[in-house]
Structure 1
Amino acid sequence: MKTVLFWFRRDLRLSDNPALRAALNAADRVVPVYIHSPHEEGDWGPGGASRWWLMKSLARLDRRLRDHDSRLIIRQGDALDCLHSLLASTAAEAVFWNRLYEPAVVERDRKIKEWLKQQGYHAESHNGALLVEPWELRTGKGEPYRVFTPFWRALSKRDEPDSPLQKPRTLRPTAQWPSSLALDELKLLSGIGWEDKLETHWQPGEAGAGDAMDRFLDQALVDYKTARDLPDVSGTSRLSPHLHFGEISPRQAWHRVRSRMAGQAAVEEGGWTWLRELGWREFAHHVLFEFPHTPDQPLYSRWQDFPWRKNHEAFVLAWQRGETGYPIVDAGMRELWETGYMHNRVRMIAASVLVKNIRAPWLSGAKWFWDTLVDADLANNTMGWQWSAGCGADAAPYFRIFNPFTQSRRFDPEGRYLRRWLPELSKLPDRDLHAPHEAADGILHHAGLRLDRDYPRPIVDYKSSREEALAAARAVASA
């Protein structure tokens, strides 16, 4: 073939990009394309934080392409219309892309591939986002997995993932480039400046992903098994947004960790613990693909009737603002607003309080995280919130409710995380920091803290709200 289109989606990298390599092997000239069509993702087009990341990552991808005498052609609108126009203007004979697995996108891509073939074009898609395609793993009964441990056991028994592909030496640029929108024309930013602060915390793009991987391997992998639960230390990889946008592939990450583990017993435990977390990402995509109703509805339909609190909107707003009176939750929500990120242990606690103490619908939390997290991913976000609500895959055999006070004392015992994000509580002694409403008046006075003025009391009583949630769960289970 003389000319083909390569359609970038959430695979914003040059290294280990299977569909890009296939396009380069098939043609004399390759035209890289990005099409912005969030309306084709159903109710789950990218949120505010994701749009900021996307803008930065596309800009950096274009610079990398231009370093190889290529460039990124940007279009906006219905993907099929844009591809049709580009095929006509470039005389391209084929379109190559890497697969995605969200329900609306799967259906859209199926129709596009069908149309291309009907019109005589070559259409070719590859797996560039997962270690294993969702349909490649099944239970002994031939059914999709709903529980992680047997899924991970099956995944672990497979051969090691193929070695990552190297960055191509040439991108086979064309001499005649089609027209392109400027990146600013996509209007990805909100216009209120909220995203500006994200710049100080993140480095989107393929190079940023490599730097994050290096930091994790050098500084955090050895202690990952224990440090990953401590929100006041840099004990996690922070690779989740880079994986979501495809700036690093899962098999690149897998092999980098496996390579560091080789011959180093000290990192063996941390390495396997992290690879298991990568397995959770695979499992989340497996469940989303097999059960496409789950972004909006429980995996198990009986939970559709769970009795959420009436008039919960004001409670949700307090949760969003970090004003619940539960310090570990409020610290996490403020971290999220400032950085586009929340430590995973704190995410679980914050989610538990919202759905089981406040008893607000899990979708209200899922939508807030979707808009504010730089690593918002439909598979991971859906699984995380349904796990917290007890209505999804791999739910605990009992209706687990996190105690935010004991969790806080256990995982932030010296209060460094709380003091960073809740400076109004900074003068409280460690023993009172995690539950200011229980502190003696003299302690509060000495710390210069007045409850309900400087910091709220809990918006719901933990013990009574816990009992109400348990009773609600029992009612659903016995229905």
Structure 2
Amino acid sequence: MSKKINVFWFRRDLRLDDNVGFYEALKGEHPVLPIFIFDSEILDELPEDDARVTFIFNTLQKMRQTLQDEQDSSIAMYHGKPIDIYKNLVKDHDIDTVFTNHDYEPYARERDKEIKEFLENNDIEFKTYKDQVIFEKSEVVKQDGDPYVVYTPYMKTWKEKFKEFDLKIYYTNDYLENLVENTRLPNLSLSDIGFKKSSQEIKDYEVTPTLIQEYEDKRNFPAKEATSRLGPHLRFGTVSIRKMIKKAIAEKNEIFWQELIWREFFMQVLWHNPKTKDESFKSKYDRIEWRNNEDEFEKWKNGKTGYPLVDAGMRQLNESGFMHNRVRMLVGSFLCKHLLIDWRWGEAYFAEKLHDYEMASNVGNWQWVAGSGVDAAPYFRIFNPTTQIDKFDKDKKYIKKWVEEYETEDYPEKMVDHKEARERCLKTYKSALN
């Protein structure tokens, strides 16, 4: 009879240290087989040179190499539907327990439910842990148990609750000898999963004391390299949220800390309202009669609107997979309010392009600019894309970096007049909401 093992399933937690589920698996009584599944249900929707897939693949190869060099172990790599992979694993191994960390997105919840039922029918436990957030689900709610839909009171309650929180770091190094000894576990190449190396690169994050201290003063100016680039690393778990919170606390910087709390706010909104990935949080906003002009959508996507700050943002996104947060609000507002194109179109485009795409934050922010989400600005607040330049890029450094033909005759005319677009937007929204 083969020896019993436990399985640890890496997902949005691509690191060996300070990983709660991995730590708990390693402390168990059976050797641990680490696995990663390139989920065909997700991958089939992506372009073949997707930078995020290259990033995940390269990260996993480094993790495999570390385990091979230091522990005579590795990570088993699979490609397909998770349920099919588990059916084969159960045939090939005597598994006691599958360990993993929570994933809160609607697809992930359905997937995990199916796998849990399958494993339990085979007398295998499925244990999941909180790892990618400090507080989850209903841990920060109003006194009556209802979830928060406004950020500021959520943030205040989060901070109060945090005073009692044990900010423990889960050091796995003490237990790595409990991995299965096998350096030849199944591996894959990018081409095996239908992908090729991306020309775009996901940058390393930079969270220095200086960056944290200057964050509040510099974060709104897209020409300055003053953002942490933490987004993709939190998204894929190459960095631990507990270590990042520790850094923010050490520097006593409330604004940087609060950005991390925003992420958890949107995660709990999506957890309590999974329908918001497709439907407006405020349902009456689904009555808006969007124009959804496809030619105008193409101009917006390609950064050819005739509004320089909007165009710079879209070109930065297309070329680099990143867009400055301040500019994200402007391009989102422009799409929904100036062009009257459904926020779901913009959300889907960002999902395809953004390296740091995270459903909860992306849906939350798109619904915010459309006016349909939690804690949203009133619908009649419409950013003026020209005066935004004076506020955030008055030297036009950011614009000139991304829009080479700016101030030449090759630069396109404005596709809409701001005043007329604003009036059209107000009229359309008003007729839908009243």
Which 4+ stretches in 1 moved above 6 angstroms? 40-47
Change (3 A) 1:340 1:44: closer
The answer on whether the counterparts of 2:4 and 2:93 sit within 8 Å (CA) in structure 1 is: no
Structure 2: distance between partners of 1:186 and 1:295: 31
Q: Within 5 A, what are the aligned runs for 1:52-451?
A: 52-68=54-70, 69-158=72-161, 159-169=164-174, 170-176=176-182, 180-187=186-193, 189=195, 191=196, 195-196=198-199, 198-199=200-201, 202-203=202-203, 208=204, 212=205, 215-259=206-250, 261=251, 268=252, 271-310=253-292, 312-425=293-406, 428=407, 449-450=408-409
Q: Percent identity?
A: 33
Q: Do residues 476 (structure 1) and 425 (structure 2) align?
A: no
More displaced 10-residue stretch of structure 1: 401-410 or 115-124:
115-124
Higher alpha-carbon deviation: 226-235 or 76-85? 76-85
Which of 367-376 and 215-224 deviates more?
Answer: 215-224
User: In structure 2, how many angstroms separate the alpha carbons of the residues matched to 1:377 and 1:366?
Assistant: 11
1:216 is paired with a residue whose SS is coil
The 1-side partners of 2:50 and 2:276 are apart by: 22
d(CA) in 1 for partners of 2:225, 2:46? 30
1:148 corresponds to which letter in structure 2? Y
Contact 1:90 1:178 in 2 (8 A): no
Tell me the distance in 2 between the aligned counterparts of 1:236 and 1:22.
33
Distance 1:20 1:227, change over 3 A: same
Q: Secondary structure at the match of 1:15?
A: coil
Q: Matched residues in 2 for 1:395 and 1:137: separation?
A: 20
Q: Please, which of 395, 399, 412 is the counterpart of residue 456 of structure 1?
A: 412
Alpha-carbon distance between aligned partners in 1 of 2:383 and 2:239, rounded to the nearest angstrom: 33
C-alpha distance in 2 between matches for 1:326 and 1:355: 15
* In 1: Cα distance, 2:109 partner to 2:77 partner: 22
1:30-49 map, 5 Å? 30-39=32-41, 48-49=50-51
Q: Does 2:417 correspond to 1:467?
A: no
Q: Which amino acid aligns with 1:375?
A: D
Amino acid at match of 1:93: D
Q: Please report the RMSD computed on the Cα atoms of aligned residues, expressed in angstroms.
A: 2.2
The secondary structure found in structure 2 opposite 1:375 is coil
- Distance 1:186-1:403 versus aligned 2 partners, 3 A rule: farther
Choose 352-361 or 467-476, whichever is displaced more. 467-476
SS at match of 1:221: helix
Tell me by how many angstroms 1:19 deviates: 0.6
Say if 1:42 and 1:104, in contact at 8 Å, map to a contact too: no
User: Aligned with 2:100: secondary structure?
Assistant: strand
Change (3 A) 1:398 1:237: same
Contact kept? 1:306, 1:473, Cα under 8 Å: yes
Which region of structure 1 is more displaced relative to structure 2, 140-149 or 92-101?
140-149
The Cα of 1:139 is off from its aligned counterpart by 1.5
Q: Which amino acid aligns with 2:139?
A: E
Match of 1:5 among 4, 7, 15: 7
Give the count of matched residue pairs.
428
CA-CA distance at 1:93 after TM superposition: 1.5
